[in-house]
Amino acid sequence: MQAPAVGRGLSELLLHGRYQTLDLMRMGYHRILNGAPHSDEVPKA
């Protein structure tokens, strides 16, 4: 179920250098460098 979103995100990143339609910034490499774990919980707005 996540494969279409991953494909779309990667294609946007490769073609445009950034995510355009999906907010995937919390999945970026910077969280590994900062030692911040990824939580499965969706942040509340």
- pLDDT, tens only, 1-45: 788 988 998 899 899 998 899 887 777 777 788 887 776 676 676
3-state secondary structure (DSSP) of residue 3:
helix
Apex 34 CA angle, 33 and 39, nearest 5? 105
In this prediction, residue 7 carries a pLDDT of 92
Ranges of each domain in the chain: 1-25
Closest to 24 in 3D by CA, of 34, 38, 35: 38
Cα separation values, 15 from 8, 20, 25, Å: 10, 10, 17
Q: Are 26 and 19 in contact (CB under 8 A)?
A: no
Query: What value does the mean pLDDT of the chain take?
Result: 82
Report the percentage of the chain scoring pLDDT > 70: 89
